[in-house]
């Protein structure tokens, strides 16, 4: 047994170099994003092992995640760190009055990731190897260069730079009130990069059903890898209709916050590419349940954000997946992920293969320590 003796929780705010705008901003539903609230959990055991986990929220929810995590953390003290599935349930029941999805499970996610990181480190294996890797590298695509606040000229520069860096695909944000601007941007990038470069688009839930039908039909000509979130994240019937009607695959799932919600999406056949977000669904334990359902349904996988975690989870998925390249989180960690020939190399260091940087400590606004007495 490896008993948990100490937990350190950190509420850390990562500033973004410039305000980020997608279609939700241009349609007036949200304000530009200026920072990401990170929840870090560091777990220690009586035999000297340590694990690091994290979750996050964007625009709102950071203080709530930290508060919930601080409330439920004592439930882990004295427990065997190896009993990860049981401990996930214990944390869930510790905060059951606020539900089993959303903010509550996102707080649990940081603990769950930390326990899996610890388990892999104890085994001397990377997380991917512990889970049973199918591959040593994963196809990757870049999103951070394609936001709607980026002018077309700069969009072309960013896309070319990503390709030269060795990134395998480019994703562009669409969903503007004027759809002709979306078409112009996609057409310009496709022409600039050529037909062979994998290209995706993401509407961030901003189209209604008639608009989505029309835009998906227009985008068929651009040979896209997928069209992401053309409709509201919970409109499974609408997504299913698009997936059936068009050759271009439909991708969705990033906004769902539990395994149960993903199960409903899968039953509706609402996606060709499933895009679960590990921290959002509650960590690695529920992510693996989702991946199992997705594999059985014959779906492709493209986890959302947090490449430092999802590179490992994608490497353990049977069908060839994609991982989203976002450099935003890099200042938080001392290590970097290597990219080569369009693919992201799976780290071979034990666990997640990352450690918190001094910069992350500097950006920390609040901490809590829970330990055995």
CB count within 10 Å of CB 324 equals 25
Q: Which of 129, 262, 289, 304 is catalytic?
A: 304
Q: Which of 90-104, 126-140, 218-232 has the lowest mean pLDDT?
A: 90-104
Closest CA to 14 of 59, 49, 51: 59
Contacts of 158 (CB under 8 A, 6+ apart): 142, 145, 146, 150
- The model's pLDDT over 147-159, given as tens digits with 9 standing for 90+, comes to 888 889 998 998 8
The owner of tokens 């690091």 is 52
Yes or no: say if 174 and 216 are a contact pair by the CB < 8 Å rule: no
64-106 confidence digits (pLDDT tens): 999 999 999 999 999 999 999 999 999 999 988 887 888 889 9
4-124+357-371 and 128-345: identical CATH topology:
no
24 is in an annotated binding site: yes
Find out whether 324 is annotated in a ligand binding site.
yes
Q: Give the whole-angstrom CA distance, residue 334 versus residue 185.
A: 36
* DSSP assignment of 320-355: --EEEE-GGGGGGBS----EETTEEEPP-SSBTS--
List CB contacts of 285: < 8 A, sequence separation 6 or more.
84, 85, 88, 112, 116
Tell me what the mean pLDDT of segment 245-257 comes to. Answer: 97
Domain limits of the chain? 4-124+357-371, 128-345
pLDDT in tens, 238-248: 999 999 999 99
Would you call 304 a catalytic residue per the annotation?
yes
Under 8 Å between Cβ of 229 and 203? yes
Q: Residue 249's closest CA among 283, 200, 318?
A: 200
Catalytic hit among 68, 121, 129, 173: 173
Kindly give the residue spans of alpha helices, DSSP state H, lying in 3-61: 23-26
Mean pLDDT of 282-308: 97
Closest CA to 297 of 255, 258, 254, 253: 253
Strands 227-228 and 199-202: parallel
204 is in an annotated binding site: yes
SS3 annotation, 94-117: HCHHHCCCCHHHHHHHHHHHHHHH
Q: Is 58 annotated as a binding residue?
A: yes
Establish whether 327 is an annotated binding residue: no
Query: For the chain, what is the mean pLDDT?
Result: 94
**Does this model's pTM top 0.85?**
yes
Share of the chain above pLDDT 90, in %: 83
Torsion of CA 310, 311, 315, 316, to 10 degrees: -30
Whole-number percent of the chain with pLDDT over 70: 100
4-124+357-371, CATH topology level? Enolase-like; domain 1 (3.30.390)
Q: What is the pLDDT of residue 289?
A: 97
Question: Under CATH, domain 128-345 is a member of which superfamily?
Answer: Enolase-like C-terminal domain (3.20.20.120)
């Amino acid at each position: 047994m490896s008993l948990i003796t100490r937990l350190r929780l950190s509420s850390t705010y990562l500033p973004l170099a410039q305000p980020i705008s997608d279609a939700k901003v241009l349609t007036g539903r949200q304000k530009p994003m200026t920072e990401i609230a990170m929840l870090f959990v560091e777990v220690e055991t009586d035999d000297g092992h340590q694990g690091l986990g994290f979750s996050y929220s964007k625009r709102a929810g950071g203080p709530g995640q930290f508060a919930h995590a601080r409330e439920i953390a004592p439930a882990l003290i004295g427990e065997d760190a190896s009993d990860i599935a049981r401990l996930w349930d214990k944390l869930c029941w510790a905060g059951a009055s606020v539900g089993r999805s959303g903010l509550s499970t996102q707080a649990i996610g940081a603990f769950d990731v930390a326990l899996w990181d610890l388990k892999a480190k104890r085994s001397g294996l990377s997380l991917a190897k512990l889970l049973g890797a199918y591959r040593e590298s994963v196809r990757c695509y870049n999103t951070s260069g394609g936001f709607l606040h980026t002018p077309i000229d700069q969009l072309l520069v960013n896309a070319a730079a990503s390709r030269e860096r060795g990134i395998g695909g480019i994703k562009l944000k669409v969903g503007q009130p004027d759809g002709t601007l979306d078409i112009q941007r996609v057409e310009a990038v496709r022409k600039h990069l050529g037909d062979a470069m994998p290209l995706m688009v993401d509407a961030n839930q901003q189209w209604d059903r008639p608009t989505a039908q029309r835009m998906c039909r227009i985008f068929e000509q651009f040979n896209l890898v997928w069209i992401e979130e053309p409709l509201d994240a919970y409109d499974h019937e609408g997504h299913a209709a698009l997936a059936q009607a068009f050759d271009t695959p439909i991708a969705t799932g990033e906004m769902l916050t539990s395994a149960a919600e993903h199960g409903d999406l899968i039953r509706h056949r609402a996606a060709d590419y499933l895009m679960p977000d590990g921290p959002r669904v509650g960590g690695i334990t529920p992510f693996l349940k989702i991946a199992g359902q997705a594999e059985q349904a014959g779906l492709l996988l493209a986890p959302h954000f947090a490449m430092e975690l999802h590179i490992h989870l994608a490497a353990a998925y049977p069908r060839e997946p994609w991982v989203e390249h976002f450099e935003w989180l890099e200042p938080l960690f001392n290590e970097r992920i290597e990219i080569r020939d369009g693919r992201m190399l799976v780290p071979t260091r034990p666990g997640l293969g990352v450690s918190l940087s001094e910069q992350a400590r500097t950006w920390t606004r609040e901490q809590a320590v829970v330990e055995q007495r």
